[in-house]
């Protein structure tokens, strides 16, 4: 089914000027950008976005990372978009991510290095994990007016 999913280009991706290359990958796969913005997240917003992780041991370093600079947030639309985007992004640890995934091609950070330094894994992207989370995360980041349907374009040009 046609779904929507939330993607963030995290502060490391923005700082490394990878915004264009990352967006191009999603567009090349036929996913449609139906909303996009740049936002500098604060601690309160981080706690909302990462509500599931707030009590985890890595949260403090994750929060420091996500508030360290602006992020680019976008909502992508396409067939099974949640699953497809996660596949394109790759697993959490860039060291373990296969070449061909965004994390595997553009990063190489490891759990070992991050833990030793007391910092979060710099892995360029946040991508929603499940369809249920997609609804909550999109609602947190975007108002209805900021999202634009491409259903007609899909049928005409992509599918
Ligand atoms: O982003 P993803 O869904 O792949 O991973 P997660 O388990 O939901 O964790 C969210 C983010 O926290 C990761 O993307 C990492 O940036 C960070 N993290 C970390 O720094 N150290 C860990 N042991 C686990 C996660
Ligand atoms: Mg996650």
**Which residue ranges make up each domain of the chain?**
2-158
- Report CA(62)–ligand 1 centroid distance (Å): 7
Pick the CATH number of 2-158 from 3.40.640.10, 3.30.70.141, 2.10.60.10, 3.40.920.10: 3.30.70.141
Rounded mean pLDDT, 131-144: 97
122 lines ligand 1 (CB under 6 A): no
Beta bridge pairs of residue 36: 74
Active site residue 154: no
Q: Which among 159, 9, 148 is positioned nearest to 80, based on CA atoms?
A: 159
Q: What is the pLDDT of residues 51-102, one digit of tens each?
A: 999 999 999 999 999 999 999 999 999 999 999 999 999 999 999 999 999 9
pTM tops 0.85: yes
Rounded mean pLDDT, 141-148: 96
Lowest-pLDDT range of 19-23, 30-34, 152-156: 152-156
Q: Closest ligand to 121 CA?
A: 1
Residues 6+ apart with CB under 8 A from 130: 82
- Report CA(49)–ligand 2 centroid distance (Å): 10
Task: Please answer whether residues 90 and 97 qualify as being in contact, where contact means their C-beta atoms are separated by less than 8 angstroms.
Answer: yes
Could you give the maximum distance between any two Cα atoms of the chain, in Å? 51
- Taking the CA of residue 89 as reference, the ligand 1 atom at the shortest distance is 4
Helix (H) or strand (E) holding 9: strand 2-9
Place of tokens 């403090």: 60
């Amino acid at each position: 089914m046609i779904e929507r999913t939330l993607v963030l280009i995290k502060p490391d991706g923005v700082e490394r000027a990878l915004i264009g290359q990352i967006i191009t990958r999603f567009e090349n796969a036929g996913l449609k950008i139906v909303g996009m913005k740049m936002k500098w997240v604060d601690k309160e917003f981080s706690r909302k976005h990462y509500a599931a992780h707030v009590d985890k041991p890595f949260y403090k370093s994750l929060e420091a990372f996500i508030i360290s600079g602006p992020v680019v947030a976008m909502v992508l639309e396409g067939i099974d978009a949640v699953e497809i985007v996660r596949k394109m992004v790759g697993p959490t640890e860039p060291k373990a991510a296969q070449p061909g995934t965004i994390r595997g091609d553009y990063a190489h950070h490891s759990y070992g290095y991050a833990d030793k330094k007391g910092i979060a894994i710099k892995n360029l992207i946040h991508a929603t994990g499940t369809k249920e989370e997609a609804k909550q995360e999109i609602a947190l980041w975007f108002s209805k007016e900021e999202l634009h349907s491409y259903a007609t374009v899909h049928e005409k040009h992509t599918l």
